[in-house]
């Protein structure tokens, strides 16, 4: 059985809480090395997760000839430069979302991927969760009739000045951190791209990051709107509204791996007070499924299910949202 040997750049919270535990559980995966700017931090990770190799500095890890693939959970401004360095060193890359800060930077990744013949994949794990695969099938099969509108919400409250999300210079802000999820999942469900976008954004006076954003995206005749906030009470949902019903994912982005997720469906409703039908989805670790998909692509030379073109399209939408908040006008994509 082939095994993919992984290295990780940086002792990130997302690696500790989700991705390393998922790698440990994943088939055909060996987490071989961790690198940090601080050797002690890496040594702690190595001890906690039994990671064989510890590197002080990311360069040393990427030049380890026994590593096949690198997971990059660095702050957003480092995604593009380190993805390029990794593929140039002959490694496949799974890079955290958002893949870049501006869409034009994804063009550099296209070239690096083509030149190196290695995969660069953006880690939007939600697309691997069975709740999203089921929701797409149900909506595609017409369970809510013709889709007319989508409403998304993703909020948390975080005013920690040391958190990467609250530093505008390194790609902080709510849209890049969480606004990306209602967008990626609306594109996933509809298979469509929005034509134009209008947005309103509020910024923190000290951090200079966006803390409250609402946007409308027109996907053909489907009106999608979402709000995301880094300074509002913790909440998330995605609602899909059709001519004959409504489908809702109450925990669309962070479903717990050891609990069943739920899809709520209202159709044949005679009064808005009626309770939904509930479809239960098996317990699933979306990070584990994502790692296994990446292993499959590497080991079988198969394309990753979502390519850089898809990442580019997503970043074009983010650009338009940022531009619209400045222009106060619809921005075309």
Ligand X SMILES: NC(=O)c1ccc[n+]([C@@H]2O[C@H](COP(=O)([O-])OP(=O)(O)OC[C@H]3O[C@@H](n4cnc5c(N)ncnc54)[C@H](OP(=O)(O)O)[C@@H]3O)[C@@H](O)[C@H]2O)c1
Query: Which parts of this chain interact with ligand X (CB under 6 A)?
Result: 10-14, 36-38, 41, 73-76, 78, 96-97, 123, 125, 164, 170, 177
Q: How far is the CB of 81 from ligand X (least distance, A)?
A: 11
Residues near 303 by beta carbon (within 8 Å), at least 6 away in sequence: 119, 297
Proportion of the chain in helix, strand, coil states, percent, rounded to 5: 40, 30, 35
The DSSP H or E segment spanning 80 is: helix 79-88
Nearer to ligand X, 74 or 87 (CB): 74
Q: How far is CA 242 from CA 142, 215, 232, in A?
A: 9, 20, 28
Nearer to ligand X, 96 or 331 (CB): 96
Nearer to ligand X, 171 or 242 (CB): 171
Q: How far is the CB of 322 from ligand X (least distance, A)?
A: 16
**Phi then psi for 32, rounded to 5 degrees?**
-90, -35
**Phi then psi for 223, rounded to 5 degrees?**
-95, 115
Nearer to ligand X, 123 or 201 (CB): 123
CB 215 within 8 A of CB 154: no
Task: Tell me whether residue 260 is exposed, middle or buried, using C-beta atoms within 10 angstroms of its C-beta: 0 to 12, 13 to 18, 19 or more.
Answer: middle
Nearer to ligand X, 40 or 274 (CB): 40
Nearer to ligand X, 222 or 311 (CB): 311
Residue 221 CA to residue 3 CA, distance in Å, equals: 46
Task: Tell me whether residue 296 is exposed, middle or buried, using C-beta atoms within 10 angstroms of its C-beta: 0 to 12, 13 to 18, 19 or more.
Answer: middle
Nearer to ligand X, 187 or 246 (CB): 187
Residue 47 token pair:
């001890």
Residue 74 token pair:
């660095």
A 10 A CB-CB count for 176 gives 22
């Amino acid at each position: 059985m082939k095994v993919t040997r992984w290295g990780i750049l940086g002792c990130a919270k997302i690696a500790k809480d989700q991705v390393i535990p998922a790698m440990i559980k994943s088939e055909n995966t060996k987490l071989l090395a961790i690198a940090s700017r601080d050797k002690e931090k890496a040594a702690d990770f190595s001890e906690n997760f039994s990671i064989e190799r510890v590197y002080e500095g990311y360069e040393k890890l990427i030049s380890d000839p026994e590593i096949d693939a690198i997971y990059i959970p660095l702050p957003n401004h480092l995604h593009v430069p380190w993805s390029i360095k990794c593929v140039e060193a002959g490694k496949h890359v799974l890079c955290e979302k958002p893949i870049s800060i501006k869409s034009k930077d994804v063009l550099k990744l296209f070239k690096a991927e083509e030149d190196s013949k290695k995969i660069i994949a953006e880690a939007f794990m939600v697309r691997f969760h069975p709740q999203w695969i089921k929701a797409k099938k149900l909506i595609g099969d017409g369970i809510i009739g013709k889709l007319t509108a989508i409403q998304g919400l993703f909020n948390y409250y975080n005013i920690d000045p040391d958190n990467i999300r609250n530093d505008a210079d390194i790609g902080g802000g709510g849209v890049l951190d969480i606004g990306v999820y209602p967008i990626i999942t609306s594109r996933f469900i509809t298979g469509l791209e929005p034509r134009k976008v209008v947005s309103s954004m509020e910024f923190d006076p000290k951090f200079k990051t966006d803390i409250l954003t609402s946007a409308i995206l027109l996907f053909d005749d489907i009106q999608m709107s979402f709000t995301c906030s880094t300074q509002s009470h913790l909440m998330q949902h995605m609602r899909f509204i059709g001519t004959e019903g409504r489908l809702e994912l109450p925990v669309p982005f962070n479903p717990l791996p050891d609990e069943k997720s739920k899809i709520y469906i209202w159709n044949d409703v005679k009064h808005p007070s009626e309770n939904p039908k509930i479809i239960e989805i098996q317990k699933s670790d979306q990070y584990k499924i994502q790692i296994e998909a990446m292993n499959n692509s590497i080991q079988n030379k198969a394309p990753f299910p979502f390519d850089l073109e898809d990442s580019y399209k997503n970043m074009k939408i983010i650009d338009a949202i940022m531009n619209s908040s400045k222009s106060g006008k619809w921005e075309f994509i």
